Amino acid sequence: MRRPSARPRRLTVVLAQWCPHCVPLSVRKGRQLSKRLGVPFRTLDIDRRGQEKVADRLVRVHGDASPDYLIPQVFLEWSDGRVQHLLTGFSEQVARTARAWDDLFESDWLRSVREKGSP
Partner 1 sequence: MRRRGTLPSALRAALESPGGQCYRHCDRPVRTRRFSRVLPGTWHVRACPSGVVSVTAYIEWTRRDPTRAVRNALRRWTVPRTLVRSWDLRIATRHGPELGRAAERELAALRPPRGVRVVYWRLYPFRARDETERRLFVCFRRTHPSPVFFASSPTATTWGCPACSRRRPSSLGRKLRGASVRARRLRDRKIPSR
Task: Provide the binding-site residues for partner 1, judged by CB under 8 A.
Answer: 64-70, 85-93, 95-96, 99-101, 103-104, 106-110
| Distance of alpha carbon 88 from alpha carbon 64, whole angstroms | 7
- Compute the least distance from the CB of residue 84 to partner 1, in Å: 9
CB of 8 to partner 1, least distance (A): 14
When the beta carbons of 17 and 107 are compared against partner 1, the nearer one is 107
What would the 3-class secondary structure string for 16-80 be?
A: CCCCCHHHHHHHHHHHHHHHHHCCCEEEEECCCHHHHHHHHHHHHHHCCCCCCCCCCEEEEEECC
Using CA atoms, how far apart are residues 37 and 98, in angstroms rounded to an integer? 19
Q: Which is nearer to partner 1, 42 or 62 (CB)?
A: 62
Q: Which of these, 98, 101, 117, lies nearest to 33 by C-alpha position?
A: 101
- As beta bridge partners, residue 73 has 14, 88
Least distance CB 100 / partner 1 (angstroms): 4
Q: Closest distance between partner 1 and the C-beta of residue 19, in Å?
A: 13
Query: Would you say 35 or 50 has its CB closer to partner 1?
Result: 35
Task: Rank residues 27 and 50 by Cβ distance to partner 1 and give the closer one.
Answer: 27
